[in-house]
């Protein structure tokens, strides 16, 4: 599992480091990493570092200082380096001096010969001639999007961009963007990932992220967020052992679908069938359809006569009327862990007294999309982590907030983030597949928070594999939820092989 630390946590750790190691030395360590990764990228894209041209976009703070020191190092490696200063009076003095000593050129963003956008001729030339651009405009202390001159310069860049710490213009805490921002090929960050590298637009605009060691090590506290690695999911995915039978691995009950929406039942039950090897029971009006599509499912007409289960997946297609409410009440009273999705969420929003049916010790997972979340607790807003955390605490649930980045908050404040590099799961019925997956993992006794993380991971990978139509393809084609469902075994195999 990878950790993600907030800017405040990183700053506090930095302060402890500065007590042992002088600040300028820490900054030079950071800058050296930026230079090394920039040199590697230059060599990959142009075949060399020496003789190539690197342009630094330098803002007012230490982020600009990192860029200037990195420029000095690249100069020593034979690159031509020009710094474009966005705030000439505030550029980091030691960094600036170092770049000048190394033979770097320094120009002002709004220097002589400024065009109608306010950009000087030398700055325009430096940006357009660059083989590589280093974004040192703003870092951890960033507020808001790029200001007009910086935005205009960035818009003129055609070369690959290496962001120092984070792509400028992205909110460090939420990853949100509300105006122009840098779209980096590579981000070199220090000490640990920050939320903007895994959340929202920031996850995409960061490009690939490398974490450089600047000696924060033991000074970092428990991470604020966690990201599962494919190998974590693969190693922990429940598979049968020699002494297992169909009951020992957990039986999941699926209460989904209706005469009007039998598809939700087929998708949720099918996903539970493929997620784990134990047993799936289905209870509801779509029993015949489920049985004919998944003969291994033990199907009955109602939750009351479903038989014993170790968890319930409830909600998709059950409706928001009296019968849906009774189904939800029944599974809550069972004392088993419950994954409540879709109509269940609307039912909770309509009738909070449903919570009274819950056994206090049984975990409840809620899996809203933004619209369902709004019914529960108002608009999600730009800080999706804070929103998910608040409802998880308030309702004592594991809250999985769907979207391109899935955020999973536990009642104790732990948060898992599942950033996505694609949007193939955005198709009708794909949420029903996720519900079945979570339900099946809950039945094995897995920690509900982790179960959600595993399910979200496998779900996104299955969608990607389905869209790509097999290994080695680069361009995908749109898929439906049935194709996502069919790709689940391949996704689990892929994860278990990593
Ligand atoms: N503290 C340290 O010694 C270390 C810090 N490091 C670097 O220092 C950075 C943080 O430095 P600072 O705290 O000086 O802050 P920044 O470099 O992030 O920037 C602060 C300055 O930018 C201005 N600013 C904020 N938002 C802006 C926007 N949208 N457009 C234009 N200007 C904006 C602020 O008014 C302020 O003047 C980190 O991101 C990292 O790159 C690294 O060198 C590692 C060690
Ligand atoms: N833009 C997106 N990128 C990646 N995943 C997405 C995107 N939009 C939705 N998803 C995922 O697709 C699934 C959709 O679920 P849901 O909204 O419940 O759909 P439905 O009710 O039609 O099944 C969720 O797992 C969600 O996280
Ligand atoms: K930056």
ipTM of the complex as predicted: 0.86
Terminal alpha carbon distance of the chain: 14
Q: How many Cα atoms sit within 13 Å of 190 on the Cβ side? A: 27
Residues annotated within the binding site are 62-66, 135, 139-145, 165, 168, 264, 317, 369, 402-406, 431-432
Mutate to test the pocket of ligand 2, among 369, 375, 476 (most ligand atoms within 8 A of CB): 369
The CATH 3.40.1190.20 portion of the chain extends over 230-497
pLDDT in tens, the chain (498 residues): 999 999 999 999 999 999 999 999 999 999 999 999 999 999 999 999 999 999 999 999 999 999 999 999 999 999 999 999 999 999 999 999 999 999 999 999 998 999 999 999 999 999 999 999 999 999 999 999 999 999 999 999 999 999 999 999 999 999 999 999 999 999 999 999 999 999 999 999 999 999 999 999 889 999 999 999 999 999 999 999 999 999 999 999 999 999 889 999 999 999 999 999 999 999 999 999 999 999 999 999 999 999 999 999 999 999 999 999 999 999 999 999 999 999 999 999 999 999 999 999 999 999 999 999 999 999 999 899 999 999 999 999 999 999 999 999 999 999 999 988 889 999 999 999 999 999 999 999 999 999 999 999 999 999 999 999 976 678 999 999 999 999 999 999 999 999
| 230-497 belongs to CATH 2.130.10.10 | no
pTM of the model: 0.92
Coil, strand or helix: which one is 409?
strand
Q: State how far the Cα of 338 lies from the Cα of 444, in Å rounded to an integer.
A: 13
Spell out which residues line ligand 2, taking CB within 6 angstroms.
342, 369, 402-404, 406, 420, 423, 425-426, 428-432, 434, 459
The CATH 3.40.50.10260 portion of the chain extends over 2-225
- Ligand found nearest the CA of 206: 3
Fold (topology level) of 2-225: Rossmann fold (3.40.50)
Q: How many Cα atoms sit within 13 Å of 33 on the Cβ side? A: 21
Pair type for strands 53-58 and 161-164:
unpaired
Mutate to test the pocket of ligand 2, among 315, 425, 478 (most ligand atoms within 8 A of CB): 425
Looking at the DSSP assignment, which residues form a beta bridge with residue 161? 133
């Amino acid at each position: 599992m990878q950790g993600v630390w907030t800017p405040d946590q990183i700053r506090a750790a930095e302060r402890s480091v500065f007590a042992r190691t002088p600040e300028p030395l820490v900054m030079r360590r950071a800058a050296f990493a930026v230079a090394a990764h920039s040199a590697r990228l230059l060599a990959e894209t142009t075949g060399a570092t020496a003789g190539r041209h690197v342009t630094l976009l330098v803002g007012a703070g230490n982020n600009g200082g990192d860029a200037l020191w990195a420029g000095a190092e690249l100069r020593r490696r034979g690159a031509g380096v020009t710094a474009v200063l966005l705030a000439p009076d505030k550029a980091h003095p030691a960094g600036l001096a170092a770049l000048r000593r190394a033979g770097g050129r320094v120009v002002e963003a709004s220097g002589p010969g400024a065009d109608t956008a306010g950009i000087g001729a030398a700055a325009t030339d430096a940006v357009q001639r660059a083989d590589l651009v280093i974004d040192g405009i703003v870092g951890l202390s960033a507020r808001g999007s790029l200001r007009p001159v910086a935005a205009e310069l960035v818009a003129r860049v055609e070369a690959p961009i290496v962001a120092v710490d984070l792509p400028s213009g992205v909110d460090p805490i939420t990853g949100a963007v509300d105006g122009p921002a840098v779209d980096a090929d590579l981000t070199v960050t220090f000490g640990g990932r920050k939320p903007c590298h895994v959340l929202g637009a920031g996850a995409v605009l960061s490009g690939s992220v490398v974490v450089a060691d600047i000696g924060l090590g033991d000074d970092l506290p428990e991470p604020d967020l966690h990201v599962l690695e494919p190998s974590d999911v693969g190693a922990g995915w429940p598979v049968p052992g020699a002494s297992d039978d169909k009951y020992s691995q957990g039986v999941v009950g699926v209460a989904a679908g209706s005469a009007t929406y039998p598809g939700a039942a087929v998708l949720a039950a099918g996903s539970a069938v493929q997620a784990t090897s134990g047993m799936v029971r289905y209870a509801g009006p779509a029993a015949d359809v489920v049985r004919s599509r998944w003969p291994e499912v033990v199907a009955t007409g109602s939750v009351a006569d479903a038989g014993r289960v170790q968890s319930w997946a409830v909600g998709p297609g059950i409706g928001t009327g009296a019968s849906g409410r009774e189904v939800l009440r029944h599974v809550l009273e069972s004392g088993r862990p419950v994954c409540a999705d879709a109509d269940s969420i609307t039912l909770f929003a309509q009738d909070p007294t449903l919570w009274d049916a819950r056994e206090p010790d049984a975990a409840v997972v809620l899996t809203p999309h933004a619209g369902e979340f709004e019914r529960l607790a108002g608009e999600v807003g730009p800080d999706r982590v804070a929103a998910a955390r608040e409802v998880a605490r308030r309702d004592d649930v594991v809250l999985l907030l769907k979207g391109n980045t899935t955020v999973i908050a536990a009642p104790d404040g732990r948060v898992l983030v599942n950033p996505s590099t694609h949007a193939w799961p955005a198709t009708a019925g794909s949420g029903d597949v996720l519900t079945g997956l979570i339900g099946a993992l809950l039945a094995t006794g897995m920690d509900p928070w982790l179960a959600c993380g595993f399910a979200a991971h496998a779900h996104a990978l299955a969608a990607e594999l389905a869209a790509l139509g097999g290994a080695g393809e680069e361009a995908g084609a749109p898929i439906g939820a049935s194709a996502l469902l069919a790709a689940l075994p391949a996704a689990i195999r892929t994860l278990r092989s990593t």
